[in-house]
Amino acid sequence: MTTRRPWYATALMYVALAGFLFFLGFPLLWLLSASFKSSGELNSLAVNLLPAEWDFSNYRSALERQNLLPAAGNSLLVSVATMVITVLLSMPMAYALARLKGRLRAAGTVWILTSQVFPSILIIIPLFLVLRSIQLNDTLFGLILVYVTFTLPFTLWMLQGYVAAIPTELEEAGEMDGASRMTILRTIILPLLAPGLVATAMFTFVSAWNEFFLALVLLQSPEFYTLPIALRSFLGAEGQMQLGPLAAGAILATIPSLIIFTLLQKKLTGGMLAGAVKG
């Protein structure tokens, strides 16, 4: 901005910024520090952001005694499978949505928007009955199928945007050379779509990794628990819960999606924040 601000306005803005930094950052720092605190320190009211004694055993305890390792394995399996299947299924349809006009496109758009606003509780009840009747409830495969369907709308929306950005002239050139539609898709569209596919895939992975509600309804056996469900189950009764391992588990559950999100952030927001960096 070209105008000069009075000093007190600048001071006030820094106070506000500090307030936001504290509000947004404190919970994360508290979780991180709790994961290194001994249980004695965790059960006191002392407000120490740095642990008095660094206790690294919480992480081992979370993985070994609280059985988070198999849950992490389940989460990884479910998330990767959801990611691969969703991307494979949505690629052709996203292409169709972006390139074709008329009723199909309109119907697709309406369905995508509708799926964003309907309460999932209404869909999960009959879905649970359907999966139970084909004996896929309480299985990871059933959960993957449900995740694929629930992530498809947004995936389609993202991907069709990436397809729409590819100029049709390139395809027309391929057509001139007599290439079939499938050849055009494989040799022209796919390479250009690659960055979009990667972004979409990562987004799908994070959605599946973080998901809680559908897993809660569909999974009953502890051996199939995904990480969010396992974490929630060892919250237990307030008095008995082991805060240290719980915090460690929560940190471990956050790391993969945090890494992906950091990589993805620029793509997801599409340069939205670029200006903020430039100032």
Partner 1 sequence: MSTATKTRREAEETPRAVKRVGHRARAQRREAIVLVIPALLPIIIFSVIPLVSGVALGFTDATLGRNAEINFIGFGNFIELFGDNRFWGSFGIGVVWAGAVALLTLVCAMGLALLLNSDLRLKGLTRVLALIPWAMPPVVIAIVWRMIYNPNSGPLNGALEAVGIPGVNWLGDFSTALPAVIVVGVWAGIPQTTVLLLAGMQSISTEQHEAAAVDGAGAFRRFWHITLPGLRPIILAVTALDFIWQFNSFGLIYVLTEGGPGGRTMIPPLFTYLEAFRNREIGYASAMGDVLVIAILLILSLYLVNQFRQTKGARS
Residues 69-128 that bind partner 1 (CB under 8 A): 88-90, 92-93, 95-96, 99-101, 104, 111, 115-128
Does 145 bind partner 1 (CB under 8 A)? Our answer is yes
Q: How many residues sit close enough to partner 1 to count as binding (CB under 8 A)?
A: 98
Beta strands in 175-231 (DSSP E): none
CB nearer to partner 1: pick between 162 and 209: 209
Stretch that binds partner 1, among 41-49, 52-60, 76-84, 190-198 (CB under 8 A): 41-49
C-alpha to C-alpha distance for 94 and 85, rounded to whole angstroms: 14
The DSSP call for residue 4 is P
- Give me the DSSP letters along 95-127: HHHHH--SHHHHHHHHHHHHHHHS-HHHHHHHH
Q: Going by C-beta distance under 8 Å and a sequence separation of 6 or more, which residues neighbour residue 3? A: none
C-alpha to C-alpha distance for 115 and 252, rounded to whole angstroms: 31
Amino acid identity for residue 42 in this structure: L
Contact 214, 120 (CB under 8 A): yes
Residue choice 227, 242, 245, 248 for contact with partner 1 (CB under 8 A): 227
> Could you tell me the smallest distance in angstroms from the CB atom of residue 236 to partner 1?
12
38: its two tokens: 């001994």
Element (H, E) at 171: helix 168-176
CB nearer to partner 1: pick between 10 and 187: 10
CB nearer to partner 1: pick between 54 and 111: 111
Stretch that binds partner 1, among 4-12, 54-62, 66-74, 186-194 (CB under 8 A): 4-12
Q: Between residue 174 and residue 213, which ones bind partner 1 under the rule CB under 8 A?
A: 181, 206, 209-210, 212-213
Q: Between residue 240 and residue 259, which ones bind partner 1 under the rule CB under 8 A?
A: 243, 246-247, 250, 253-254, 257-258
CB nearer to partner 1: pick between 69 and 260: 260
